[in-house]
Amino acid sequence: MAHHKSCLKRIRQNEKRRLHNRYYAKTMRNFLRDIRNEKDKAAAQEMFPKLQKMLDKLAKQNIIHWKKAANLKSNTAKLIAKLG
13-61 pLDDT, tens digit each:
999 999 999 999 999 999 999 999 999 999 999 999 999 999 999 999 9
Q: Can you give the CATH number for the domain in which 49 is found?
A: 1.20.58.110
pLDDT band at residue 2 using 50, 70 and 90 as cut-offs: confident
Domain holding 12, by residue range, is 5-82
State the pTM of this model. Answer: 0.85
Q: What is the mean pLDDT of residues 67-72?
A: 98
Number of domains in the chain: 1
- Compute how many other C-beta atoms are within 10 angstroms of the C-beta atom of residue 66: 13
Give the CA distances from residue 48 to residues 18, 42, 43, 44, 54, in Å, rounded to whole numbers and listed in that order. Answer: 27, 10, 9, 6, 10
pLDDT at 3 over 90: no
Which pLDDT belongs to residue 1? Answer: 76
Which pLDDT belongs to residue 84? Answer: 75
DSSP state of 64: S
